[in-house]
Amino acid sequence: MAADSLSKLQLLQRHIRTFPDFPKKGILFRDICPILKDPATLTAVTDLFEEHVRKNYKEVDLIIGLDARGFLFGPLLAQRLGIGFVLVRKKGKLPGPTLSVAYDLEYGKAEAEIQEDAVAPGQKVLLIDDLLATGGTLYAACELMRKQQAEVLGCMVIIELKELNGIDRLKQHSVFSLVQY
């Protein structure tokens, strides 16, 4: 890894806070809010994602951001790459005709949806979120892409919680994480 990339990763790691027992007892919550507060760190995260995409994917049509923190990083990356950005939201938050998928969370159940016309069949997409835990949300988003006949090139996250084995649910997809715990 280049020295510049390593220094950006170190900056990122210094800006992730840990909160024990949030949102419930036994959960060790990794907080990315300090990344957003610091312009240099936010730029470093965007730089690292951009470097990964440009190195590994010659053709990408859309960045797909997952509700809600994928919305923070996805548009910045899409703008840098000169491509579009699409939202995957919690059920009931998007107007017009939508497609939805139900999935399990670390501590509950949810449904994700996308507007029917958001992604065209055959488009090449990359999914982005802040965290990979059990993999439920990213898996649901991949299922939405399958329903829309898009080609999922890969998934990207800032943080991967390895002990929760979320990557196992995404075996058929490439997963890139900046930081692992």
Average pLDDT, the chain: 96
The residue behind tokens 């919690």 is 90
N- to C-terminal Cα separation, the chain: 19
Q: Are 156 and 125 in contact (CB under 8 A)?
A: no
Q: Are 180 and 160 in contact (CB under 8 A)?
A: yes
Q: Collapsing DSSP states into helix, strand and coil, what is residue 161?
A: coil
The residue behind tokens 């990408």 is 60
With 80 as the cut, is the pLDDT of residue 106 above it?
A: no
Report how many domains make up the chain.
1
- List, for residues 147-172, the tens digit of each pLDDT value: 999 999 999 999 999 999 999 999 99
Mean of the pLDDT values across residues 52-61? 98
d(CA 130, CA 146): 22
Q: Of 137, 143, 141, 142, give the one whose Cα is nearest residue 166.
A: 137
Mean of the pLDDT values across residues 130-135? 95
One-letter amino acid of 106? E
Does 147 or 107 have the greater pLDDT score?
147
> Model's pTM, two decimal places?
0.95
Percent of the chain with pLDDT over 90: 93
CATH number of the domain that 25 lies in?
3.40.50.2020
Domain that holds residue 143: 3-180
Binned at pLDDT 50, 70 and 90, residue 1 comes out as confident
Residue 2: per-residue pLDDT: 87
Query: What residues act catalytically?
Result: 69, 106
Mean of the pLDDT values across residues 27-50? 97
Residue 107: per-residue pLDDT: 67
Structure tokens at 147: 């329903």
For residue 68, whether the previous peptide bond is cis, meaning omega lies within 30 degrees of 0, is: yes
